[in-house]
Amino acid sequence: MLSRPAPLAILGGAPRFSQNVYVGTPNIGDRAALTGRIDDALNRRWLTNNGPLVQEFERRLGEITGVEHCIAVCNATTGLEIALRGLDLTGEVIVPSFTFIATVHSVSWLGLTPVFCDVDPVTHNLDPAQVEKLITPRTSAIMGVHLWGRGCAPTELEAIAKKHGLKLIFDAAHAFGCSHDGRMIGSFGDLEVFSFHATKFVNCLEGGAILCRDAALADRLRKSINFGFTGYDKVVSLGINGKMNEFSAAMGLTSLDAMDKIVATNRANWHLYRDGLAGLPGVAMTPYSETDRQNWHYVVCEIDEEITGLSRDDLLAALWAERVIARRYFFPGCHAMEPYRSLDPDIGKALPETGKLSRKLLQLPNGTAIDSAAIHQCCDLIRQIIAQRDAVKARLAEHPELALAR
Ligand SMILES: *Cc1c(COP(=O)(O)O)cnc(C)c1O
């Protein structure tokens, strides 16, 4: 006799997982190495202000990316703001809407105007042809985002920026350890900014880094992360406090030590998901290049509701009921969040691909905190939820409080 599967949690069964399984659970390297570094910092009583661990962290970033100037900062958002100011921008900056809100907020925070550009439905990144159409006399820069670690048309955007005399910045928050056409991310445009937030592939608890190839720019940026100081009593420029501290660098160095292992785990997990979901109609994994370096941190699926008969949001609600806290990055798009939504309520019409992707994509848990049995369970749940779509939809119609906000 066939054993009948347990009822889905959204239909009244017990959740498959006994604890929430999250996207972005931190990867933690060797604890003894971490606490050793923290002890050393405490013994030195040198806890911040360009300490030896921060200096070592910056050196290691340079070795990995091949970029000459690496400036560790307290987080990527502050790093982007410091970078934008360091480039002396004015007027408009072309940005994607399909990104984490910090990309766009960093532009607005400086009093610049973000101009939203649509993305390519296949790469999920800025569409260079559309970027070029949005350039006006007020445009001073383009800010690309290497979404999921996949290069954001960096060579095409470099050519466009050069042709129009614009600065080019990349929010590389997703892309540490990745390459594009054989060149490491970090080395494109005027500068790039990595995030080392706890939920990112390599983490410093909170942290980031600005990478650039221009020595004069690097010198300006380095001063500006420390109030513009060049000596004990000497301030030569406007600045802010964007410094990374020693504990964050201790975490970052420990994370870098584990980097190859984390990539291998992420990559193996990604393939387990791919095999587990293979042949399931309407569910497609967003692929990574097998020739470029990738960190494989994001497991991204595209849900085609026409085929599955169940919307991405309803699938997500059913997964949450099972305690699988999958995500819908970057719904609904930055343009549909405040303050941008009120500034231009119609802008969504110019961003059709952003709208479609934000309703189709789903991100699944990855990293060293999840094991193959849990991945197998996640894939099995997705299959069962889709197979029972009519019951799931009926249940959500009866209990709208179980559904996700639209
Ligand atoms: C995480 C993230 C940021 C912000 O990074 P913080 O280090 O948390 O400030 C910016 N942009 C993107 C695309 C991100 O994913």
Q: What is the pLDDT of residues 118-140, one digit of tens each?
A: 999 999 999 999 999 999 999 99
CA of residue 4 to ligand 1 center, whole Å: 44
Main-chain dihedrals φ then ψ at residue 22, nearest 5 degrees: -105, 155
Q: Which domain holds residue 382?
A: 9-27+259-326+365-402
- Tokens linked to 133: 């159409």
> Do 68 and 213 fall within a single domain?
yes
Cβ pair 246, 53 in contact under 8 A: yes
Among residues 257, 273, 297, which one ends one of the domains? 257
Q: What is the mean pLDDT of residues 159-169?
A: 98
Q: What is the pLDDT of residues 255-297, one digit of tens each?
A: 999 999 999 999 999 999 999 999 999 999 999 998 999 999 9
d(CA 155, CA 126): 12
* Assigned domain for 357 exists: no
Q: Is 75 in the pocket of ligand 1 (CB under 6 A)?
A: yes
* Assigned domain for 4 exists: no
Q: Is 100 in the pocket of ligand 1 (CB under 6 A)?
A: yes
pLDDT averaged over every residue in the chain: 97
- What CATH number is given to the structural domain containing 292? 3.90.1150.10
**Mutate which of 100, 126, 145, 251 for ligand 1 pocket (most atoms within 8 A of beta carbon):** 100
The alpha carbon of 137 is separated from its chain's Cα centroid by a whole number of angstroms, namely: 31
Among residues 221, 242, 257, which one ends one of the domains? 257
d(CA 194, CA 198): 13
Q: What is the pLDDT of residues 35-91, one digit of tens each?
A: 999 999 999 999 999 999 999 999 999 999 999 999 999 999 999 999 999 999 999
> Do 203 and 277 fall within a single domain?
no
* CA 78 to ligand 1: nearest atom: 9
> Which residue is listed with tokens 């920026």?
161
* Assigned domain for 245 exists: yes
* Assigned domain for 339 exists: no
- Tokens linked to 193: 């900014």
> Do 264 and 237 fall within a single domain?
no
Q: What is the mean pLDDT of residues 315-331?
A: 98
> Do 69 and 170 fall within a single domain?
yes
- Tokens linked to 239: 């600045």
* CA 200 to ligand 1: nearest atom: 1
Q: Is 265 in the pocket of ligand 1 (CB under 6 A)?
A: no
* CA 208 to ligand 1: nearest atom: 7
Count Cβ atoms below 10 Å from residue 206 Cβ, excluding itself. 20
pLDDT for position 6: 83
Minimal-distance CA residue to ligand 1 atom 5: 76
Q: What is the pLDDT of residues 193-243, one digit of tens each?
A: 999 999 999 999 999 999 999 999 999 999 999 999 999 999 999 999 999
Q: Is 143 in the pocket of ligand 1 (CB under 6 A)?
A: no
* CA 207 to ligand 1: nearest atom: 7
> Do 216 and 75 fall within a single domain?
yes
* Assigned domain for 333 exists: no
* Assigned domain for 248 exists: yes
Q: Which of 143, 36, 157, 50 is nearest to 96 (CA)?
A: 143
